[in-house]
Amino acid sequence: MEETTSVKQPVTDNTRERLLDRSEILFAHKGFAAVSVREITGSANCNLSAVNYYFGNKMNLYISVFKERWIPRMKQVRQYADDYLSSRQTIGISDIIRAFAKAFLDGPITDEERIYHFHLMQREIAHPTEALKMVVDEIIHPMHKDIRGLIKPSLPENLSSEKLALSIFTTISMILYFGFAQPVISLVMDQKFDPAFKSRVIDHIVSFAMNGINGLKKEETV
């Protein structure tokens, strides 16, 4: 009842936190059905019945992973991009692209986090649960609208909003793909995803997308 103000450790019981941490990785890696509660509690070093105690059932743990891990992480990524942009004097299209490419691929989250973060999302797209709608409504849709608002001033007034939206999706697709398909890319290119390569990838994405969007500008004014 009485909250101590001890600084040492988080006050909240951390079995619950460990369950969220470990199950996120397992769900991302194998999918909801392929992970057993026994595996989760084993990995989180707690008792089998802890999942039911803290979350009621397995599905609710899964939903909670999105609410308490996935969405906050996306907000962190988003914040990184916003900070990057507000540190600039003037904001051009390439700054915006770089802000989001860096935020997603080289931002506040670790490489490991990034991979399971994307995998969770891909699984939801393939087989949506109620988590997908939550995530689209709370994160993806707003982010998309904000990016549109950022880019629009740099483009001709008469540019169709469909072309703009498609360009944003296209740019995001590149970013996500490099975050997601790393294993295949490494296999085909025979190239490890070390920091130097990652930085070249980000440069590549920025210039590729820039050229794409600028081309849009030309098309429209012709």
**Under the criterion CB under 7 A, does residue 59 sit at the interface with DNA?**
yes
- The item of its own copies, DNA, none sharing an interface with residue 64, based on CB under 5 to 8 Å by kind, is none
Q: How many residues form the binding site for DNA (CB under 7 A)?
A: 19
Shortest Å distance, C-beta 68 to its own copies: 21
Give yes or no for residue 11 binding DNA (CB under 7 A): no
Kindly write down the DSSP assignment for every residue of the chain, as one continuous string: -PPP--SSS-SS-SHHHHHHHHHHHHHHHH-TTTS-HHHHHHHTTS-TTHHHHHHSSHHHHHHHHIIIIIHHHHHHHHHHHHHHHHTSSS--HHHHHHHHHHHHHHSSS-HHHHHHHHHHHHHHHHS--HHHHHHIIIIIHHHHHHHHHHHGGGS-TT--HHHHHHHHHHHHHHHHHHHH-HHHHHHHHT----HHHHHHHHHHHHHHHHHHHHHHHHHHH-
* Binding-site ranges for its own copies (CB under 8 A): 28-34, 119, 122-123, 125-128, 136, 140-141, 144, 162-163, 165-167, 169-170, 172-174, 176-178, 180-181, 183-185, 187-189, 191, 200-201, 204-205, 207-212, 214-216, 219
Binding part of the chain for DNA, among 50-58, 103-111, 136-144, 148-156 by CB under 7 A, reads: 50-58
30 binds, among its own copies, DNA, none (CB under 5 to 8 A by kind): its own copies
Binding site for DNA (CB under 7 A): 13, 15, 35-39, 46-53, 56-59
